[in-house]
Amino acid sequence: MTEFFSMGGFGIFIWSAMGIALALMILEPVSLIMKRRSVIKQIKRTKRLDARRKQN
C-alpha cells in the first residue's frame, strides 16, 4: 500500500497534482451552489418586499 502511494518516490508530486486538481474542481461547483443560494435568497427578498408593498 505504501508502495502504491509513494509511486517510486514521485508520490508527493503525483498526489499534490491530483490534490490541486481535485480541490479546484470541488471548489468551483461548491462556490456555484453557494452563489445560486444567495441569488435565490436575494430574489425572494425582493419578491417578498413587493408582496408586502402590494398589501399596504
Residues that bind another protein (CB under 8 A): 7-10, 13-14, 16-18, 20-21, 24-25, 28-29, 32-33, 35-36, 39-40, 42-44, 46-48, 51-52, 55-56
Choice between 2 and 56, CB closer to another protein: 56
Choice between 2 and 52, CB closer to another protein: 52
Q: How far apart are CA 54 and CA 47, in angstroms?
A: 11
Q: How far apart are CA 26 and CA 19, in angstroms?
A: 10
For residue 14, the tally of other CB atoms under 10 A from its CB is 13
CB of residue 5 vs another protein: minimum separation in angstroms?
A: 11
Residue located via cell numbers 486538481: 21
